Structure 1
């Protein structure tokens, strides 16, 4: 099946997302989407301002009056569960966004011992051990022990970014001293010496009580929401030992078919592959290197060699475990990893991920629906308009109808590449051709079985017919900086 995911949110999403999604499920099904990745449903430390990544209480999905109200930014628990049910009625799987790395917005301060570390090299100690107070106790008073009476305190955390010493606030990265030692776990990315610490109160997965609580919680989450899979945030910062144990528990005890997709953000496919191998292929990963290829290609224009567009991608290395995307909530304009693919190139990038044989593509909400938002950067308010990609619905339809069967690549010109999908017994194939410079063409041999066949551009970028000769050969064309998908008339 030609599965395709929609990331049904962006960073600046406003309005009740759960209700909006519930109303759009039939529309999404008709476009060919088979799965939807929804943002984190948990209560945030910033209340309705939070996007779900500033986790306060994983058991509060918009049910308890905590952090300025009952609903989250996206709606209430009832609305969330209704949205998932609507997706299931439409035959769409739902992937829940899960943040395992940290907690924020603690309820009480505790006296703890910490030492400061160099933010550029977290293995380097820059202060003596010191007694401080920090917000490391989470008691969830409004929930009153419903679903779980587990109290999070400093034994459950390995680091923190804000402490008080002698009444004075201190900011930085502080290693918490607990019974698991005064060093970070080594089972994480070695960026900045050790990348265990990211933000907030960093969860200590060497604590067996924490591991058990997270198993209890994910069982409750699956039982409560009936989601089909999970997207895991910030995996560079998590203990791979814990992750492997936790995902194995999910697959063995809860749901063997649970789809697990990870954000292991690296621009080198070798590092993602190394992580994937270490996880015993229990987990698929986003293809950040391919996104950066698209970003570079969109900036460089005709100077970019299109024959290299898949080079160094995770798709090239481990296609079965890769998820391809053009853009997401972290790379969109004004965000932390800003690397927005230029609008002119997006149809080409989407053609590559939607019509290639091995890709499991993920479409970004604003590229389908458009988006407008404002934010402040360097003290200046900036307005961003993201136009919808007009050719996206027909590309999705082409994926459903024509992108089947074996793929034959014609990656033989720096400014114009093509590939043929041969089709199968149920579905005809197609010829995809893209150019990042002038009008381009490719001579393609489709074999004698396609002799004297007429072809039209399904995307209507070109309005003439192409007819193959007695051997099934023809020259297929594409407009300047464009994509065409040629199918039998």
Structure 2
């Protein structure tokens, strides 16, 4: 407890100092610890689930892809501009992001949704339509064409960064009406006519069906995928030409952000990770750290640290840093904790600069939100914090006197 209180004291001093002097001092480079200090190594991901490593500058001086050693950028927000320009917009920014020390980017769902050119991707119809089929009223997705997506992924990798796909596995949308023998009604569960011809689905693949009436949760009235059926398992993670392995081996995604994982058992993500691989983080929207830890363990995945998110809200907006002594996922297991200040779904923290100072000087895998970085906050200050995270980890420099 004494060390934790000292960390909070250092954080408070750092925040006050940083607010006044960040543009002058924090760009001078790393200090040399004197003999009276020791540097405590912090946890770093190396791109494989829960293993450790160090971030190594590439030959160009940019940071090699290294989740946790670098920083993740959420490269979108809700209702980005329509018109198929977003992939190209992001492509213009990845070099700057890489130079700033960002090691990975998280893209929105990349396949065609029911709303076609207006869809943010969370209403998936055809997992293999990346903007190259005339389907749901458009050829391109809201974000662009398949060629533009492939070019973006290629550029991200050229800049020594990783790229993660947002995967919506809980539900589908945009199917045709069919007679459903399990409900005795007509349901929009006929996905046999999708343009790609891959991963055809019928009412047998959705709840209720022959396996069970429901699973852990449904979302928004959308047809709820049943992951127990052989057809769903084969097409999601088993087949070499299925969704997971196609995204990884052909589209060259390095990892996954899984949407609404409350809606199905953690075994689904566990099976995906075992068969597909790549970095993995789940959106389990719950502030209970025990629940987050349970899910991450059973899914063999990282999880967004909603416990930390809500504690930061109370601590910084309520001016009570003692709340940061409470338990959070990054304290339970920093290998499995992805920390964040805001995202496309929720934006409740007012003192964002303090929150970014916190997550970028503590363990876990910190995420920066696109609009915070590009529009709303001081980019130079955020870049200073990214540099600290990647190089100094100054919150873990603890005097022997207090250790």
Q: TM-score range by the shorter chain?
A: 0.7 to 0.9
- The CA deviation at 1:39 is 0.8
Alpha-carbon distance between aligned partners in 2 of 1:199 and 1:86, rounded to the nearest angstrom: 38
State how many pairs are aligned: 329
Distance 1:229 1:141, change over 3 A: closer
Partner residue, 2:307: 289
- Residue in structure 1 matching 2:214, options 176, 184, 188: 184
- The CA deviation at 1:197 is 5.2
| TM-score (normalised: structure 1) | 0.64
Alpha-carbon distance between aligned partners in 2 of 1:153 and 1:388, rounded to the nearest angstrom: 50
Partner residue, 2:228: 206
Alpha-carbon distance between aligned partners in 2 of 1:394 and 1:62, rounded to the nearest angstrom: 37
- Residue in structure 1 matching 2:179, options 111, 115, 127: 111
Gaps of 5+ in 1: 116-130, 159-175, 189-194, 252-257, 333-339, 371-385, 405-418, 423-444, 448-489
Does residue 12 of structure 1 match 2:65?
no
Alpha-carbon distance between aligned partners in 2 of 1:241 and 1:196, rounded to the nearest angstrom: 17
- The CA deviation at 1:402 is 2.2
- The CA deviation at 1:288 is 0.7
Partner residue, 1:275: 295
| TM-score (normalised: structure 2) | 0.77
Alpha-carbon distance between aligned partners in 2 of 1:227 and 1:206, rounded to the nearest angstrom: 25
Question: Are the aligned partners of 2:126 and 2:195 in contact in 1 as well (CA < 8 Å)?
Answer: no
Alpha-carbon distance between aligned partners in 1 of 2:268 and 2:388, rounded to the nearest angstrom: 41
Distance 1:241 1:321, change over 3 A: closer
Partner residue, 1:401: 391
Q: Give deviations 1:428-453, integer Å, cap 9, x for gaps.
A: xxxxxxxxxxxxxxxxx577xxxxxx
- The CA deviation at 1:204 is 1.0
Distance 1:24 1:153, change over 3 A: same
The structure whose residues are more often helix, as a share, is 2
- The CA deviation at 1:421 is 2.3
Partner residue, 1:225: 251
Distance 1:36 1:202, change over 3 A: same
Alpha-carbon distance between aligned partners in 1 of 2:315 and 2:181, rounded to the nearest angstrom: 49
State the secondary structure of the residue aligned to 2:248: helix
Mapping 1:231-246, distance limit 5 Å: 231-246=257-272
Alpha-carbon distance between aligned partners in 1 of 2:220 and 2:290, rounded to the nearest angstrom: 23
Does residue 132 of structure 1 match 2:185?
yes
Does residue 249 of structure 1 match 2:275?
yes
Partner residue, 1:341: 349
Partner residue, 1:262: 282
Say which one has the larger Rg. 1
Gaps of 5+ in 2: 1-54, 56-68
- The CA deviation at 1:391 is 2.0
